[in-house]
Structure 1
Amino acid sequence: MKNKFNKDEIDNLYINIGKKVKEYREKNNMTQLELSYAMGYKSVSLVSSAELFTREKHFNLEHLYKISRILNISINDLIPTH
């Protein structure tokens, strides 16, 4: 069976997850640095890059779990639907 998913679709998913994280982070009046620290990181590099999907950096499942707990939301809130 041939893979039906192309790179653009997957990239678009990561872009939209980054937008969702940014939206909820800002609703919680939290900076990228504050979220990074709360996740256990010492710089904004991951959060900044993943929110913007620069250098094809993205949040993985562990990141999304931590973010959902920190922001007190469901992990499902971070996953865009079609």
Structure 2
Amino acid sequence: MAFCMSFFISFILVSINRGYDHLFLSAWLKTWSQAFICAFFGAYFFPRVIQQIMRRINFVEKPLMIEKDLLVREEDNG
């Protein structure tokens, strides 16, 4: 996921900002390598942080859970 997104977005942004010239490929590869590092760590850490934040929120309705490929409401056992 991080590979594809950083690849595509860096290509588009370098194309828009620099245009296509003899330095395009080197500029794009440099930008892509930096973008990939950021995207990889973002894709690794952000979901964990967001999940911790979501656990602290008291929802009015119980969130849906996936069980055997079906969405079901989490039962309150307490």
TM-score, scaled to structure 1? 0.31
Q: Which has the higher contact order (CA 8 A, sep 6+)?
A: 1
TM-score, scaled to structure 2? 0.33
Larger radius of gyration: 2
